């Protein structure tokens, strides 16, 4: 056999090995923006609404070709407005190690008087980020399970309180504590309101210090350090039910409401979003997942 022919065969075999990686695509801010556009097009999406049910069906349909196991985690949220049927959507990309990495965000929008609140950033950006993440995970090699979770009922119906907020994450943290899943979690990363222009991710001090160090240093290394604040802040969000149960969890949120004057107003519309903000979070978290 010719030496040249052997080289060609070796190259052909190598190309075959590398084929799955070649099919995977990198996280795309533009595609995430498209998903945000789709989410917003469903209109206001408070828990229990037809619009949220339709968005959920859309999310589940998008997950079909991802090679992941999709679970709809149904429960009743006991809200000041009465009991409401809520559903978290979980997409599991199974690994072999027995451990799990979890990326979360909420897909509901706040129920507002007047019914014009479409939550492009608040609810839309986390929904879209996780959908694009699901698309990129298809071909990414990983040892641990990777779970993506779309939480229902993040928003309060009245005044934000321990019992009126975070319905989906409180439910899932409790369920996963009971069935042993929590003890398998190496890291849980929640994203919220990360699609706005002029991105500044809060250094949320209730969050795991180890995870913040890893995320902040990764961002620095790939040239995105300036989008991650050094001065600490704090906020209650979907990571907290897990933090309270001892999970290594972090919240990534741009909650600069002085800048985001559109927060919880009908002005939270698509024009407030920036493709580049999705791009930054996508690139950083893709790198972080490889290091966990
Ligand atoms: Zn909100």
Lowest mean pLDDT, pick from 15-29, 105-119, 144-158, 254-268? 15-29
> How many helices and strands in the chain, by DSSP H and E?
8, 8
- Spacing, Cα 264 to ligand 1 middle (Å): 6
- Spacing, Cα 125 to ligand 1 middle (Å): 11
Q: Which of 194, 140, 107 is nearest to 27 (CA)?
A: 140
- Spacing, Cα 255 to ligand 1 middle (Å): 10
Predicted pLDDT at 4: 55
Domains in the chain: boundaries: 27-291
| Percentage of the chain exceeding pLDDT 90 | 87
Predicted pLDDT at 18: 46
Contact between 137 and 27 (Cβ < 8 Å): no
- Spacing, Cα 152 to ligand 1 middle (Å): 12
Q: Of residues 11 and 137, which shows the higher confidence score?
A: 137
Sign of CA dihedral 108, 268, 33, 283: negative
User: Which string of DSSP letters, residue by residue, matches 189-240?
Assistant: EEEES--BSS--EEEETTS-HHHHHHHHHHHHHTT-GGGEEEEEE----TTH
Predicted pLDDT at 3: 58
- Spacing, Cα 237 to ligand 1 middle (Å): 9
- Spacing, Cα 110 to ligand 1 middle (Å): 6
- Spacing, Cα 155 to ligand 1 middle (Å): 6
* pLDDT (average), residues 126-132: 98
Half-sphere exposure at residue 263, Cβ-oriented, CA atoms within 13 angstroms: 16
Lowest mean pLDDT, pick from 6-20, 71-85, 96-110? 6-20
- Spacing, Cα 2 to ligand 1 middle (Å): 66
- Spacing, Cα 58 to ligand 1 middle (Å): 22
* pLDDT (average), residues 84-104: 97
Contact between 250 and 208 (Cβ < 8 Å): yes
Lowest mean pLDDT, pick from 30-34, 54-58, 109-113, 173-177? 109-113
Predicted pLDDT at 19: 41
Q: Is the pLDDT of residue 117 over 50?
A: yes
- Spacing, Cα 266 to ligand 1 middle (Å): 12
Q: Is the pLDDT of residue 292 over 90?
A: yes
- Spacing, Cα 165 to ligand 1 middle (Å): 10
Predicted pLDDT at 222: 97
Predicted pLDDT at 113: 86
Predicted pLDDT at 149: 98
Map residue 74 onto helix, strand or coil: strand
Question: What tens digit of pLDDT does each residue of 168-226 get?
Answer: 999 999 999 999 999 999 999 999 999 999 999 999 999 999 999 999 999 999 999 99
Instruction: Report the predicted TM-score, pTM, of the whole model to 2 decimal places.
Output: 0.92
- Spacing, Cα 41 to ligand 1 middle (Å): 18
CATH of domain 27-291: 3.40.630.10
Highest mean pLDDT among 4-13, 17-26, 213-222: 213-222
């Amino acid at each position: 056999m010719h030496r040249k022919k052997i080289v060609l065969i070796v190259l052909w075999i190598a190309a075959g090995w590398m084929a799955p990686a070649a099919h995977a695509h990198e996280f795309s801010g533009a595609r995430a923006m498209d998903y945000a556009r789709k989410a917003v097009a469903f209109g206001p999406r408070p828990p229990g609404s037809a619009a949220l049910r339709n968005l959920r069906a859309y999310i589940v349909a998008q997950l079909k070709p991802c090679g992941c196991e999709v679970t709809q985690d149904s429960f009743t949220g006991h809200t000041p407005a009465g009991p409401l049927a809520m559903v978290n959507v979980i997409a599991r990309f199974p690994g072999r190690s027995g451990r799990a990495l979890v990326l979360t965000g909420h897909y509901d929008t706040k129920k507002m008087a007047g019914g014009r609140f479409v939550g492009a950033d608040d609810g839309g950006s986390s929904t879209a980020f996780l959908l694009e993440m699901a698309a990129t995970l298809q071909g990414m090699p990983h040892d641990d399970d990777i779970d993506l979770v779309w939480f229902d009922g993040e928003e309060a119906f009245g005044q934000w309180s321990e019992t009126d907020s975070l319905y989906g994450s409180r439910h899932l943290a409790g369920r996963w504590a009971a069935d042993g899943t929590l003890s398998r979690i190496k890291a849980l990363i929640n994203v919220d309101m990360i699609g706005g222009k002029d991105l500044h991710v809060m250094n949320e001090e209730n969050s795991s210090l180890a995870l913040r160090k890893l995320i902040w240093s990764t961002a620095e290394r790939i040239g995105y350090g300036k989008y991650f604040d050094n001065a600490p802040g704090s906020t209650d969000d979907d990571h907290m039910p897990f933090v309270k149960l001892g999970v290594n969890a972090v919240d990534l949120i741009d909650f600069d409401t002085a800048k985001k004057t559109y927060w919880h107003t009908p002005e939270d519309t698509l024009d407030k979003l920036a493709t580049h903000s999705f791009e930054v979070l996508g690139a950083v978290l893709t790198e972080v997942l490889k290091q966990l």
